[in-house]
Chain A
Amino acid sequence: MMDHWIIAPVVIPAMLAPLIVLWMRYDLVTQRVASILGMSALLVLAIVLMVSASTHPPEVYRLGDWEPPYGIVLVLDRLSALMLLLTSILGLVIVLYAIGSGWDKRGWHFHSLMQFQMMGINGAFLTGDAFNLFVFFEVLLIASYGLMIHGGGRARLKSGVQYVVYNLAGSTLFLFALGTIYSVAGTLNMADLAVKVAQMPADETALIKVGAALLMLVFAVKAALVPFQFWLPATYTNAPGPVAALFAIMTKVGVYAIVRVYTLIFPISGTTGTLAHDILLPAAMVTLVIGMVGILGARSLGRVVAYSVIGSVGTMMLAFSQFTQGATSAGLYYMVHSTLVAAALFLIADLVRERRGRWGLSLSDAPKIAQHGLIAALFFAGAIAMAGMPPLSGFLGKLMILDATRGQWGLWAAVLITSLIAIVGFGRAGSQVFWRSYAVEAEEDERPQPSKDASSPALAFTATGILLAGSVALTVLAGPASNWLQGTAAQLFTPAQYTDAVLAGAEARAQEAARIGAQDHGHMEVIEEMRSEDGHATDTQTETGHDAPAAAH
């Protein structure tokens, strides 16, 4: 029974989104209710799936009941369950914020695009098929294109075009990578790939290494790793506030894909060797430095937050690039923390922008804004968490990463020095926006006014508060959380669990199907054919390397 719930995080938003467009088009209130209900359902579902994933080995959902590796599978393991939970929390909070701040009124179809976005993100986290991963990437990207330009405006459309073009180039690269891998391995099912790649003779891995490196570039574009981070600052600064907050999970889709693919298919002990480590470590180091220096150099609050996202991606990739269990669980903790806090900071920046009128987010002298003290306090908490100062979860996350990379002095120096830079950068931005305003006297008619769209500022503040409360909860419950994440990392580093769940039993089930279908001669024939072809392909492949993959399917 549990099996069928695995596809629900994809199906629910996929059904809800068209309903919102077709039935509730002109009624914002029903749209809002439907959107909140959908997001809440996703949240409940994610919690249930997470409980199930923590007590069971990876669970597999075969779409259309096609046997892997022929059909597409969805796989729920601890990592995907964690990402689903994170996505659904973020989704619910962002819908609440968008309603409270009135952002959903400023253009068409905000709520249905949000649902499509959830469908794409959830699908990308669940799928166990590399080509299906590409398809879900496209689903989440096309929804994000719509959300990115929500509300319109010159700067937003311009940076929207940049964002789209950058990601289209990334998608094309993704297809090249998948084609290369398919031409060598003859399969795109991740579990099957893991098995096939592991069996490859060591002297014939040149092409598969090219494929692995190309895939790394694609995921680096999504995760905004140097040198592919250029799209991020302009996109995140110009996107509507709640959308920018949602994009905090989008970079994590890239991070997730890197962790998944390079622990499962191309593990460090496997055929491709330390390729992933060798690429990731320097890239993560430079990303970290550029992100944190960017915080110091940015001239608007939006860019401060955007660069802090780049910096945090660098920090977590430093941990993931170690490819050890301890560092991976530390990296996962930091990832959860930084997603929540980055989203909170984007919402805070939006609260400021909504109230600051013509001054926008620029770090220049501007008069005091409405609800000044509250917003300043929220920013203070968010900045502390993001920069990694005690007592919030950023400090614990960085501590865990440092602990897991003991003895690597260069890495320690990078993390600690950039943290200092981040503190200075956030301090500068915060004091300019919030403290300098006491010194500025505005004319009465020039005083910044809160935007008229806001339906319920209290709801907007609550949404922001929930995210920061998430950071606090992550700090208080750091013990259980990190135990759970260690279990997740352990599962990631025994890929046999994953491949067994997907592939084991396929043979037995095929025989069963053949027995049932014995009356139907044609059906049995096809199954027999597929099985004998598969066996044949594996044989020839080990003999002749990559000349035979065409026969594999």
Chain B
Amino acid sequence: MSENDKRKQENINLDFGDDDFQFEWGEDEVCEKPGEEMSEDDFLDTMPPSKKSMTIFFLIDTSGSMEGTKIHTVNATMEELLPELVGIGGAETDIRYAVLTFGERIEWLKKPLKVDENCIWERIKKVGGLTPMGGAFKELCAKLSRSEFMNNPSLSYAPVIFLMSDGAPTDDHVEGFERLQKNNWFKYGLKIAVGIGAKPNMDILRGFTGNEELAVQVHNAKELKEMVTLLAIRSSQIGSKSMDLTGDGKEKSAQDVYKDKEKRLAEEIKKAKDIMSDENVADITYDEGW
């Protein structure tokens, strides 16, 4: 007796028959081998997905000439800048920062730290000595390595490398720089230089960034603060996120996107410099105003 006949017999007047029930479990849902261990993890108590990371290196000149207002301004700027960098990498990228000072000594004031967890600036107190920029380049190069500072287990974006100096190197900067240029982290990184006051060697700073727009001279405390803040925030934003996409309909090659972020940053800095010069920030003789 068919299922339908049975139903008729039982006088059930349901409007659906066997054909409505052709469905089966998917094969691997039923045929799971008995005893096979399956994960019992709770979908809600998973570990957070791994974050990408982006490190911003601050190379700060702490030679004798930085003494006084200059280093105070750097400290005041950094104090306010770090909290601004909290959360700037978005939900998916950790921003880390490291600080290398070069003056009497070349030392890491801070090895890479997550800015979200360490947004309180430790003030630079000691300044003095010469300007061993070449030595600082070598030290940076040594640490820009997978086995040193760039040891984040998940993906990284290329670092932002931020150089601040008010003078000219007093050591062999060429050798140090040549070494640095061969370092891939450096090569792909976003390099920015801020020359402070009237005496920085801007040629060397421009050489460091490899892009004229990204070497900026600031003449007073206000400019320093505005420029460093703007540069650090925008470079962190651009550096810690994926490239921007604008299609012109043509297939992109690796060559087309090479240094895309650097170009974008340079464009923005150019705009910002125009705005600052429009505003005509200060009339004082800059180096005297420190």
Answer yes or no: do A and B interact: no
User: Which residues from chain A sit less than 8 Å from chain B, CB to CB?
Assistant: none
User: Which residues from chain B sit less than 8 Å from chain A, CB to CB?
Assistant: none
